[in-house]
Amino acid sequence: MELSREQLLDAYRYMRTIREFEERIHLEFATGDIPGFVHLYAGEEASAVGVCMNLGARDYIASTHRGHGHCIAKDCDVGAMMKELYGRRDGLCGGKGGSMHIADMSKGMMGANGIVGGGPPLICGAALSAKILKTGGVAVTFFGDGGFNQGTTLEAMNFASACKLPAVFVLEDNGYAESTASAWSIGGGDPIKRAAGFGLVGHSVDGHDFFAVCQRARELIEYARAGNGPSFLHVKFIRYYGHFEGDACTYRAPGEVAAARSERDCLKLFRDRVTAMGVLQPPQLDEIDTEVVRLIGSAVAAAKEAPLPDTADLMTHVYGSY
């Protein structure tokens, strides 16, 4: 797959931004300053970025409770995202949604989602809009191995297939639905076969390998854009943190995360590959690392200082008119 130097730098910057965002939230959440539930995406960056690199402004994505990475990959404003996590007035959703409901429709980001399996039917709708309004757009839903067992997901795959919608179903399989192993919970064991049962073309990829994800996602998105109908991508990786922040993760095998971090870190694999190829030099990537740390640092500082919502804001946005 041909990617320009600029595209490679972009891909690295997006992935590094997600990683730094999540690692910093992990630390900040522990101080008690961030309210509510937070589910971190660290370790999974190649999936969001590998898919979204192939999408444009007319394309929509639907996300999950673990949505920060998808937001960043779809160009949501990182400063406004951070303010949203802190429940601030100028947050991306005015402080009303928080981590689990971050969204920016103007960017084609239809929201993180607190309901497992909430996204797949929504992107069928986005795909229907694209088809009927002839926007040329494609709709992509991300869902976890837990969401893959939700009736809404299965119905959405069938609906998309029957209506030949320009939709891509991306199963992000991090090994655990909360604390339950996906190896146990996915009946039949092979997600590709399940998707094939609904008539969806599908591929499995190593979710730590940005290039593998990006290549397959590109094929499937082009397939949808050409009017061939829906498809399925099974992205397999290891999540670095718990189901939510505060999860002690005792259900995991000892050393599982340490091994993934040292051997299958998508950022390290990316760096090794592009520098070995000689396309990018380590100092260029180091510079991005430094910039991203600064960006996230200022986002946190700004979020902590940002004003809270007014009580009157409680009553706004319930309806368009009433």
Partner 1 sequence: MARKSFREAINEALRLEMRRDPRVIVMGEDVAGGMGAAGEQDAWGGVLGVTKGLMPEFGRERVLDTPISESAFIGAAVGAAATGLRPVAELMFIDFVGVCLDQILNQAAKLRYMFGGKATMPLVIRTMYGAGLRAASQHSQALYPIFTHIPGLKVVIPSSPYEAKGLLIRAIRDDDPVIFCEHKMLYDEMEEVPDEAYTIPFGEANLTREGEDVTIVAIGRMVKFANEAADRLAARGVTCAVIDPRTASPLDEETILESVKETGRLVVVDEASPRCNLATDIVALVATKVFGALKAPAAIVAPPHTPVPFSPALEDAYVPGPARIEAAALAIME
CB of 120 to partner 1, least distance (A): 12
Closest distance of CB 45 from partner 1, Å: 23
Distance CA 312, CA 7 (A): 44
- Which range binds partner 1 by CB under 8 A, 34-42, 223-231, 269-277, 284-292? 34-42
Given the rule CB under 8 A, which of 189-197, 213-221, 228-236, 310-318 is the region that contacts partner 1?
310-318
For the bound state, the minimum distance from the C-beta of residue 252 to partner 1, rounded and expressed in Å, comes to 5
Number of other residues whose CB lies within 10 A of the CB of residue 260? 18
Distance set, CA 161 to CA 113, 155, 221, 227, 321 (Å): 23, 10, 15, 12, 36
Binding-site string for partner 1 from residue 191 to residue 230, where x marks contact by CB under 8 A and - marks none = ----------------------------------------
The smaller minimum CB distance to partner 1, of residues 196 and 251, is found at: 251
Part of the chain binding partner 1 (CB under 8 A), chosen from 133-141, 147-155, 196-204, 233-241: 147-155
Q: Tell whether residue 146 is a contact of partner 1 (CB under 8 A).
A: yes
Name residue, tokens 């640092």: 297
As given in the structure block, the two tokens for residue 61 are 């994505």
The answer to whether the CB of 60 falls within 8 A of the CB of 123 is yes
CB of 36 or CB of 136, closer to partner 1: 36
39: helix, strand or coil:
coil
- Check binding of 105 to partner 1 (CB under 8 A): no
Three-state DSSP at 202 gives strand
Q: Give the residue, chosen from 69, 87, 108, 230, that forms a contact with partner 1 under the rule CB under 8 A.
A: 87
Residues 37-66 that bind partner 1 (CB under 8 A): 37
Helix (H, G, I), strand (E, B) or coil at 10: helix
- Output the six-digit token pair for 224: 């949808």
Question: Is 286 an interacting residue with respect to partner 1 (CB under 8 A)?
Answer: no
- Whole-Å CA distances, 272 to 42, 230, 267: 19, 34, 9
Query: In terms of DSSP H, where are the helices of 101-150?
Result: 119-132
Residue 66 token pair: 């673990």
**Through-space distance between the first and last CA atoms of the chain, rounded to whole angstroms:** 52
Q: How far is the CB of 112 from partner 1 (least distance, A)?
A: 10
Tell the residue number behind the tokens 């490679």, with chain if given. 8
Smallest distance, partner 1 to C-beta of residue 310, A = 8
Looking at 50, 67, 98, 119, which residue binds partner 1 (CB under 8 A)? 98
Residue number with CB closer to partner 1 (35 or 227): 35
Should residue 289 be labelled a site residue for partner 1 when binding is judged by CB under 8 A?
A: no
What is the spatial distance between Cα 54 and Cα 108, in angstroms, rounded to a whole number?
13
Q: Is 121 in the site for partner 1 (CB under 8 A)?
A: no
Stretch that binds partner 1, among 53-61, 194-202, 208-216, 242-250 (CB under 8 A): 242-250
Under rule CB under 8 A, residue 137 binds partner 1 = no
Instruction: Return all residues near 307 (Cβ < 8 A) that are at least 6 apart.
Output: 88, 89, 90
Q: From the CA atom positions of the chain, what is the Rg in Å?
A: 19
Which residue carries 């009157």 as its tokens? 312
Give yes or no for residue 174 binding partner 1 (CB under 8 A).
no
List residues near partner 1 by CB under 8 A. 35-37, 87-88, 91, 93, 95-98, 100-101, 113-117, 146-147, 149-152, 176-187, 248-254, 256, 308-309, 311, 313-315, 318
